[in-house]
Chains A and B, each alone.
Chain A
Amino acid sequence: MTILEVENLGKIYTGRFGASQVKALSNVSFSVEQGEYVAIMGESGSGKTTLLNMLAAFDKPTGGRVLLEGRDLTGIQENELAAFRRDSLGFVFQDFNLLDTFNLRDNIFLPLVLAGKNYVEMSQRLQPIAQKMGITDVLNKYPYEVSGGQKQRAAVARAVITGPKLLLADEPTGALDSKSSDGLMDLFAQLNREGQTILMVTHSTKAASHAGRVIFIKDGELFHQIYRGEAANEQMYQKIADTLTLLATGGESHEQ
C-alpha cells in the first residue's frame, strides 16, 4: 500500500518585493510504500530540508502536491494542521528539539498531552517504548542531564509514541558521535522491522546505508535512487558512496 505520494512537487522562494527568485525544488515525484525505510541524500543546499518541510506541512509548496494516505496535505486548514501533524506524523530533528523545561518523560508525553490523552494511557504507552529505546532509567532526568544519544532516543520515543503513519527524521545523527549514531540507526532499523514507515533526510552515508532505498537530490531535482534489494549494509554503503561520487563529479544518472 502506498502511504506517501509526492507529485511534481516544486518550491520557489521569492525574495522581498519579488526581486529575486530561488528555485529550491522542482518537479520532484516519488512515493513511499507502507513499511518502507527511505533515506534522502544530497549536498547542502540541494533541497533536502525544503522537501522535508513540505512533507511535514511546515511549508506550502508552490507547485505539485503531497498525499499522505491519499489525503492532500496542501488542502488541510491551518487549524486542523496541528492535530494532523500530531496524529499522523512523528518528527526527529538534528538538534533534538527537546524542551529544557520538561524532563524526558514529559517531553515524550507532550504530543499525547496535546492530544488530550489521560495519564494512565500515556504511561502504558510509554513503558514498552522507553524499554526499547533504553531510556527507562533516565526518564526523570532533564535534557541537560543526559547524553546526546539519550536525548535523541527520547526524541524518537516522542515521535513514535503517537503511533504515526510516517516517521520523518531530519539529520538524526547530525549531532551525535559515531557510537550513538550506530545505536540510533540500529534502533531505526528495528522500528522499521516492526512495521514503522520511515523517511530520513541525511548527509551520512553510513546512516543511509541502513535504509531500504536511497533517493538522491541535486539542485532541487530528483537525481537518482537506489534500492537495497538483497544487499548487506556494507554493499549498500559502497553503492551509495559510488553514487555520491557520481553526483559530485557531475555525471548523469543512468541506473534506475
Chain B
Amino acid sequence: MNSKFLARLARRNLRKNARSYGPFILACVLTVCMFFIILALSVSPSLESMTGATTIQVVIRYGVVVVGLFAVIFIFYTNSFLIKRRKREFGLFNVLGLEKKHLARVIGYETVYVALISLGLGLLFGVALTKLLLLVVAKILGIAPPMGFFAGPRLLLVVIGVTAALFGGIFLLIFLYSIRQVYVARPVELLQAEHAGEREPRAKWLLALLGAGCLAAGYYIAVTTTDVIQAMFLFFVAVVLVIVGTYLLFTAGSIALLKLLKKNKRYYYKTRHFTAVSGMMYRMKQNAVGLANICILSTMVLVMISGTSCLMLGMDRALIERYPYDMNISHSDEATVALTKRAVAEAGIVPVNEAEYSYVNFAAYSRPGGLDVTTDYTFNTESTLCDVLVLDLADYNAVTGQDYELAPGEILLKVERMKYGSDTLELLGRTYTVKAQVEDMVRYGLMTANLTSTCYIVVPDREALTGLAAAMASEDVRSSEQYRVDGLYTMQRFYGFDVAGHDEETALNARLAVRAAWNEALEDESSDLEGTYECRAWERQDFVSLYGSLFFLGMFLGLLFTMAAILIIYYKQMSEGRDDRERFQIMQKVGMSRLEVKRTIQAQVLIVFFLPLVTAGLHTGFAFPIINRVLGLFNLVGTDFYLWCVLGSFGAFAALYAVVYALTARTYYRMVSM
C-alpha cells in the first residue's frame, strides 16, 4: 500500500483525535522540555563554577533520574490509555480492508509525528528556558548569575543527544506496545473492545480491610513517631503503607462501601442515591487506579512543595537557631578567649553583643524529681532523654542581664520540649532546690536547635560548676552501676559575638582571623587547644546550596507531577463522558428531567474530581507531624511555620485543581448533553 497514503491517514487520525492527542502531545513537549532543562543544569559548567555547586549538582542529578523515570512511566501510561480508546477505530480500519501490517505502519507514522513534534518543540523550549532557569537557580541561591549561555556547543549537542535518545526510546516502546495491541486482537474484538467488561464489580472485603489497616498503620506511625532518627526510617515505611492503603481503599474499599450502601434499601432506593450509587460503583471500577494515581501524585506534590519551600523560607530562622551569634566559639581552655579576642581586634573588627560563659554539657534521662546521667540507653517509658547544659549564676546574670541570687544548693531551671514539675532536682547523688523556672537563658546553638528535650541548669557559683564536672569525671561515678558514664565531660567556655550590622564580609573576615590565630597556636606542640569555631555567614553558604537546590527540585518536580495529575484527570473525564451519555439518554427516556440529569452528573463528577484531592489533603495532614520532625533534622523548628507552608501549598494546588475542574466539567457536560 502507498506509504504516502498511510502517512496522510496517520496525519488525519491525529487531527481527528485532536481532543485526546492534543493534551498528550502537550504533555510530551513539557516532559521533553523539563528533562532537557534538568539534564542541562546537571552538567552545566556555568553552574559548576558557582559556590556550593557540588551540593546543587548532586541534588539536581538525582532529579535527572527521577524526571527520566517519570517520563518513561507517564508517557507509556498515557499512551496505553489513548490506544485503548482507539481500538474500535482500528477495528473499523481492519474491517474496511487495511491489513494489520498497514495498520502498524499507520501507527508508526503517527508515533513518528508525535515524537517529532514533542522532541522538536520540547528541545526548542528547553534551550530557550534553560538560561532563564539558570538565572532562577542563581537567584534562589543568592549568587551572581553566570555569564553567557549555559554550555558550549559540544555539551549542548550531548545534552540534546541524550534527551533525544531517551525519548526516542520511549516512543519506540509505546509504538511496540500499540502494534502489539493491534496484532493480538481480532477485528471483531477490536470493534467491541470498548464495551467489554461491563460487569458489576464484586466487593473484596479482605482487600478493603487490608487497605484500611495499611492506611491506619501508616497514619499511626506518622503521628506517633517521636524519635527523630526513627522518624527518618519510619517515614519511608509509613509512605509505603499509605500508598498501598490508598490503592487498596480506592479499588476495593470504595466498592465495598458502595455495596454496603446498596444493601441498605431505604437509602439506596431514593431518587438522589439510586443513580449515584450504581454510577459510582462503575466509575470506581474503571477509574479507581487512576484516581489513586492522582491522589498519590497530588500528595507527593504537596509534601514536596511544602517541605522544600519551608526549608528555603525558614532557612534564616534555622540558621539563627543553630548559630546564635555571627561567630560562635567553644573551647576547653579559657586562655583561648584572650587569644581569639586579640586576633579579632587585630583584624580591625569590633565585636558587638558579646556573650561569654562556662558550661558543662551532657545528656541525661529526665524523670520526675531528677536527672539520671547514664549512657545505658535501655528503653524506659518513664523518662525522656534530654540535653543538659549547666552554667553558673555569675555568667548567667552577665549574659542575660538578670539579677538573680542563689543560696548554696539552689538552682535556676529552664526546660524546653518537656515539662518538669518537681521543686527539687536530683543530679549525680545531690539534691538541689529549684528556686525558679526562668524564661531568659543563654543562647547555645546545639541546644536551641536540638530536637530532643533540653534542660538548662544555673548553679550558684563556679565552684559548684567545676564540682559537677569533676563529679562527672570521677572514677566513682564513672564506674558505678548506676551512672555508667562514657567519655569525659570537661567544662567548656563559650564565646560568641556579632559583627556590626551582621555584615557577611566582616563576619567571614572574623572567621579567617580566628582560624589563623588558632592554627598558629596549634603549631606550638605543648598547646592543648581543643574547640570549635562556627561562623554563621560561612555556614549559610552550605545551607543555601542544599536548601536552595532542594527547593528548586521540589518546585520543578512539583510542576511536573501536577501536570501529570491534571492530564490523567482530563482523560478520565473524557472517556467517562462517552459512556455516561448513553446512560443519561436512557434515564431521560424513562422520566428523568434534564435538571435531575445535570444534578446527578454534577454530583458524580464532583466526587470523582475531589476525592483524590481531599484524600491527598488528608494524607498531607497526617504526614505533617512526621515531616515536621524530619525537617527538624535540617535544623528547622517551628511547627506553625511549616503549617503555613503546608496550607499555602495546599491552597495553591487546590486552586489550580479547581480551575482544571471547571474546564473539564464544561467539556464533559457538552459531551454528555450532546
Contact = CB atoms under 8 A, between A and B. Distances in A.
Given A82-B596, A113-B269, A113-B271, A144 B589 contact: no
A110 B593 contact: no
A110 B274 contact: yes
Interface stretch (A13-21, A97-105, A177-185, A198-206): A97-105
Interface in A132-157: 142, 144
A85 B591 contact: yes
Contact of B590 (A103, A114, A122): A114
Contacts of A109: 269, 274
B266 interface: yes
A144 B199 contact: yes
B590 A91 contact: yes
Given A142-B199, A144-B199, A101 B592 contact: no
Contact of A111 (B198, B269, B590): B590
B48 to A, nearest CB: 60
A116 B271 contact: yes
Given A82-B588, A110-B587, A119 B271 contact: no
A122 B586 contact: no
> Do most interface residues of chain B lie in helix, strand or loop, or is the interface mixed?
helix
B200 A86 contact: no
Contacts of B281: 101
B204 interface: no
A106 B278 contact: yes
A78 interface: yes
B583 interface: yes
Contacts of B198: 100-101, 144
Contacts, number: 74
B263 interface: no
Contact of B279 (A86, A101, A103, A111): A101
Interface string A81-95: 111011100010100
A81 B592 CA distance: 9
Interface string A103-130: 1001001110111101100100000000
Contacts of B269: 109, 113, 118-119, 122
Contacts of A113: 269-271, 274
16 contacts: A58-B589, A82-B588, A82-B594, A82-B596, A101-B278, A101-B282, A101-B583, A102-B278, A106-B278, A109-B269, A109-B274, A111-B590, A114-B592, A114-B596, A118-B266, A144-B198
B430 interface: no
B275 to A, nearest CB: 8
Contacts of A213: none
Interface in A184-243: none
A256 interface: no
Given A114-B271, A118-B269, A122-B269, A101 B593 contact: no
A159 to B, nearest CB: 8
Given A106-B278, A113-B271, A113-B274, A78 B587 contact: no
Interface string B198-210: 1110000000000
A65 interface: no
Contacts of A44: none
A249 interface: no
B593 A79 contact: yes
B666 interface: no
B595 interface: yes
B583 A82 contact: no
Contacts of A106: 274, 278
Interface string B253-275: 00000000000011001110010
B40 to A, nearest CB: 51
A92 to B, nearest CB: 11
A103 to B, nearest CB: 8
A67 B82 CA distance: 49
Contacts of A97: 586, 589-590
Nearest to B198: A100
A11 interface: no
Q: Which 8 A-B pairs have the closest CB atoms?
A: A86-B591, A82-B593, A101-B278, A113-B274, A119-B269, A97-B586, A119-B265, A100-B198
Contacts of A99: 278, 583, 586-587
A165 interface: no
A11 to B, nearest CB: 19
Nearest to B195: A100
Contacts of B271: 113-114, 116
